[in-house]
Each structure stands twice: as C-alpha cells, then as structure tokens.
Amino acid sequence: MKNDEKEIKTNQPETSTEKYSLNDDRRVKALSPGALVTKRFFRNRIAVIGMGILIFMFVFSFIGGLISPYGQDQFFYREEAQRKEFAAVTQNTEFRYATSNASAFDSSVQAQTMLAIIQGKSQFSYDGASYKIEKEGQDFYSVSLGGEVLGICFKDIVNSTTGTDQFSFDFKYNALKAFANEKKSFNADGVKYEMDEKGNILKNGKETAYVSRYIVKALMPDIVLSRDFKDKLLSAIEANEKKFTYTDENLIVEEENTEEPMTDSADSTGMMSENMDMPAENMEMPEDSKKENKATAEYDIEFKASKNTWEILQSIETHKYDTYSEPSKAHWFGTDKYGMDMLTRLMYGGRVSLLIGFIVVFIETALGVILGGVAGYFGGWIDGLIMRMVDIFYCLPSMPIIIILGAAMDAQRVDPTMRMIYLMLILGILGWAAIARLVRGQILTLREQEFMTATEATGIKISSRIFKHLIPNVIPQLIVNCTMSLGGVIITEATLSFLGLGVKFPFASWGNIINDVNNTFVLTTYWFIWIPAGVLLLLTVLAFNLVGDGLRDAFDPKMKR
C-alpha cells in the first residue's frame, strides 16, 4: 500500500554507516512511500519547473495583491489639457443703430443714414421726410427728424457690467455722447451718471455699464464674463499677447464632465455579449474632483483675420479616467479600459482564477469520490443507477449549458459575487462524472483484495471501510487527476469570462481581462492589455499539467518506464 505512511527511518545518520559491515541490513536506507514519491518527483526536472511556475503564480496572485499599492477596483485619472473655444472678442467695425422709435427709424432709413454719412451730407430726405444728421463724435452720429433725436449710429458699444441689464435709448445716447466728448458725467432718464476716462459708467459710485469698441462674448450662452475679465483680456489683446492668464474667484469656469470610459465590446464584429455590467455607481466622479476646476485659467488668444475676431481658447484641465495608458513606472503594465492598474488586476485576477479552479475541483472531487465510492463498493443496482447518472452527465454538452446559464444570469442581472458562486457550482456539478468513474474503477479492483476481506472480518463499519480503507488507495490517482483538471477548469472559467459569461466586473479574472481583445482597436494597439494575462493563463495551466504529469510518474513509476 503506497499510502501506508509507516516511516522506516534510517536508524543512524549518514556518517555512522561506516560502522556496519557491508552486508548489514541497516546500511540499506528505506524511504517511506511518501518520501519516495517526493524524491522521484523532484528528480523530474520538467515537473520541478512546473512547480516553480505554480509557486510563482501563487505568490503573484495571493501575496502580490497585498503588496500592490493599488486596490482591485481603484480607478486612476489623468489630467488632460484640452483647448476649447471659450470666448470671442470682436472689434466693432460696423455702425450699429439704436432708436427710441423703431417704426420711424427702420432699416430703410438706417440705410439712407449710412449713405448720407458716407457721402458726408448733414441731411437727407427719404419718403417725403427730411432727416438731419449730426456728427456727435468719432464714429458717432445722431439722426433727428423735426428737431427730435430719432436714432443714433455708433461704433462704440455700451455694455452692461453685469452682462444682463438692458439699457434705454436715452441712456445709450447720453452715455455715448459723454464718452465722445470726454465728459465726466451725464444725465439720462432723470438719473445722474458719472463716467471716467476709460468709459466706465458709474451710478452712485457703482459701475453699471461701460463703453467699449470691443465685444467680448462667451461661446456658451450661460457663461457671463465679468468686467474685470473683459478688461484684462482686452488689454492683453491690445498688447498683442498670445497667452493670457486670469485668476478670479468668481469666474465661472465651465465644469467639464469626465468622459465615461466606453464599454465598446459591441464593436463591428458583432460577436460576444455586450458588457451590460457597467456599474454606474463606480463611474461617478469622486467628490474632490470638482475642486480641481481652478480659479486660475490659461487662455490662448488667436486672431482670426477672416472674421476680424480674436478667439479665446481656454485650456481646461479635464479630469479623465486614465484608460489604456502605456506601461510606466506607476503602472508597470499600464491601465485597462476602466483606468485601473493592470498589474494589480492581474494579481487579483489570478486569485479569482486559482480560487475558482480549486473550489470547482474540490466540488467535483467530493461528489465524484462519494458517488464513485458508493457505486464501486456496493455494486448491484446502486452501481447501475449511479453509473447511468454518470453516463448522463458525460453526455451533457457542458460548454453550451454553461453558456446558456451564463446568458440567463446576464438577463437576471445576478450580483457578481453570487454569479461567481453559481459558476463554481455549475462547473463542479457538470464535472464530477469523470472522477466518479475513476474512483469506481479503482474500487472495483481494490475491494476484491485481501485487506478488504480483513476489514470486513474485523467488523469495521461500512462508511469507514469505504472512506478509510478504499479511498486512500485511490488518492494517488485522484491527486494526479485533480491537478490535471485544475488546468482544465481554469481554461473553462477563462473562456467563459472571455465570452463575458463568467466572472464579471468589478471582479477581475484573467479571462475577462483578455475579453477586451474583442475590441479590435485593443487587439491591434494595446498589447499590454491582453498579452500578459494570456501568458499568465497559459503558464499556469501548463504548470498544472506539468506537475500533474510529474506526480503521475512519481506515484507510479511503472507508467513512466
């Protein structure tokens, strides 16, 4: 019996063997069966390499995750400067019109006025009425009909300081008049306003409006530019500067939305299930990110000759998910499509893959040993029944069934943790038949041997006869079988996760890391996303197979020859 672990130890340490005569039995070193197996195993160089790979994988997955500075579902962001058109500055070169009586000063009268101004006339007649033009200042004319000022033509514009106030004609007229004549104050609508030399109009010492030839307009209608901003911007333009920096607490900076990482597995290929599992709650911006919109902003000024405008481009620091970044010092294998550290994902993925492998094999083996042991020991109709069950399970096409169940779980939106448990149960239940068959076959031969008759004669109860005397003798084959099937289970799980039907986000698994390859762009551009995961997967499965092979040879040297 290989597993009767009765150690026949060497009586003496190595150095004392000299004492015995050559034909002394005690010179012969007898190793325990376990030690023999170990010795034979370690003599097999390939198996030892496999063992080494496995140890590395375990360290990588289980300890690596602890050492890694990042979490499994920790997102990373990057600041990206985007130049966006923010505002436009136009120097007004056209005459603008304002009137107190829109019907009397319509566009045809305006055209006539224009014509008269160009021709240098001081009056003109149109439609039977006689209009009088008076030059009030530089590029500023008033048109009167019958002694009353009807309208004005101007190039300097009266702007509201707040940007929202509307001004009356009287106000505009008087303000412009004061501006043209460089007066310190004027009256409009019965209120006294003061004006400084820069064209700012103050009411009771408070600025309400200003006169300027430039129009500064924000591109977005909901953005109101402050007077201070406009002033500084204009002085920058007049100084012919290309850059402009402005700091203001009240400046309303557009809040830039972070781009959501796209889940684009549903690409042109039309294959694979869509990743419907984008967890919305994880995609929210962290709280602190909003403070990132600084009050200081940089602007680029570009003059567009064709439109006679200056375009103000704002460089906005956009807070984005750091997706698909190249391998760097911070992220050795780059980041994935969610902006998570690839190396850490690989570690946690290895943990999930290995754990699933072990648990599934454990379920398989438990079911197989119990049912196979019972069938083999009792024989008769129990054996027949269990073996027909084995036949049925052998016959069930497992991959399609798992795919169907996976799709059903997708439809039900099963929680990812529960899903993982279901997956393990399904894989275990579909896989026990082979082990049951193996155990039964072994037991059929073993139960005819003398030691079983002995157990019967000593009156040991049936359950311990099966599980204490029969099963231990099957354990070598079981260990080999389990090691080999671990590799198979890991491949199955990876394949399912790859198809999007296995382990789901936020859990990582080597399979669902490679899943990204369904996106052709990732396949062609971002090797670091999927090649490392594939290599790890291949190495792990290969190592399990190598170790399984080595164990089989070690347990049963006859097989090796």
Partner 1 sequence: MRKYVLKRVLVSVVILFFVAFIIYALMRCLPTSYIESIARQKSMQPNSKSFEEWMAQLKVMYNLDKGIIVGFFAWIGQALTGQFGDSWFYTVPVLQKFNDTVWLSFVMGFIAFFLEIVIAIPLGIIAATKQYSRADYTISIVALAGISLPTFFFASLLKLLFSVKLGWFDLYGLISRDYDTMSVFGQLMDKGNHLVLPIVTLVVISMGSLMRYTRTNMLEVLNADFVRTARAKGLSEKSVIYHHAFRNTLIPLVTVIGGSLPGLFAGALITETLFGIPGIGFVSYHAMIAGDIPFSMFYLVFMSILTLLGNLISDILYAVVDPRVRIA
* Residues binding partner 1 (CB under 8 A): 46, 269-273, 388, 391-392, 394-397, 399-401, 403-405, 407-408, 411-412, 487, 491, 494-495, 498-499, 511, 514, 517, 520, 523-524, 527, 530-531, 534, 537-538, 541-542, 544-546, 549, 561
User: How many other β-carbons are positioned within 10 Å of the β-carbon of residue 323?
Assistant: 20
Omega cis (within 30) before 506: yes
Q: Which is nearer to partner 1, 443 or 541 (CB)?
A: 541
Contact predicate 83/215, CB 8 Å: no
Looking at beta carbons only, is 46 or 67 nearer to partner 1? 46
Q: First CA to last CA across the chain, in angstroms? A: 20
Of the candidates 152, 181, 161, which has an alpha carbon nearest to the alpha carbon of residue 225?
161
* Smallest gap from residue 548 Cβ to partner 1 (A): 10
Q: Which two tokens stand for residue 358?
A: 């072990």
Least distance to partner 1, CB of residue 397, Å:
4
Nearer to partner 1, 326 or 391 (CB): 391
Supply the minimum distance, in Å, between the C-beta of residue 384 and partner 1.
11
- Shortest distance, position 162 Cβ to partner 1, whole Å: 49
Closer residue to partner 1 in complex, CB, 68/509 = 509
* Other Cβ atoms within 10 Å of 550 Cβ, number: 25
**Residue 110: both structure tokens together:** 């305006």
| CB of 466 or CB of 517, closer to partner 1 | 517
Residues 6+ apart with CB under 8 A from 446: 452, 470, 473, 474
Nearest distance from C-beta of residue 226 to partner 1, angstroms: 50
Nearest to 394 by CA among 406, 386, 404: 386
Helices then strands (H, E): number in the chain?
17, 15
User: 120 or 380: whose CB is closer to partner 1?
Assistant: 380
How many CB atoms lie under 10 A from the CB of residue 180? 17
Element at 109 (helix H, strand E): helix 107-119
CA 498 to chain CA centroid, nearest Å? 17
Shortest Å, Cβ 536 to partner 1 = 10
Rounded to whole angstroms, the Cα distance separating 200 from 158 reads: 9
The CB-of-521 to partner 1 minimum distance in angstroms stands at 11
* Pairing assessment for the beta strands 140-145 and 129-137 based on DSSP bridges: antiparallel
- With a CB cutoff of 8 Å and minimum separation 6, the contacts of 352 are 420, 503, 507, 508, 509
Kindly tell me which of 129 and 396 has the beta carbon lying closer to partner 1.
396
Q: Taking the complex as a whole, how short is the minimal distance between the CB of residue 269 and partner 1, in angstroms? A: 5
Residues recorded for the chain: 561
Task: Give CA–CA dist 372/383, Å, rounded.
Answer: 8
Collapsed DSSP state (helix, strand, coil) of residue 79: strand
Residues facing 243 on adjacent strands: 300
Nearer to partner 1, 322 or 549 (CB): 549
CB of 368 or CB of 487, closer to partner 1: 487
* Least distance (Å) between residue 399 CB and partner 1: 6
Measured from the CB atom, the residue of 270 and 380 that comes closer to partner 1 is 270
Nearer to partner 1, 10 or 495 (CB): 495
Shortest spacing between CB 493 and partner 1, in angstroms: 10
- In angstroms, what is the minimal distance from the CB of 537 to partner 1? 6
CA gap 298, 279 in Å, rounded:
35
Query: Greatest CA separation found in the chain?
Result: 148
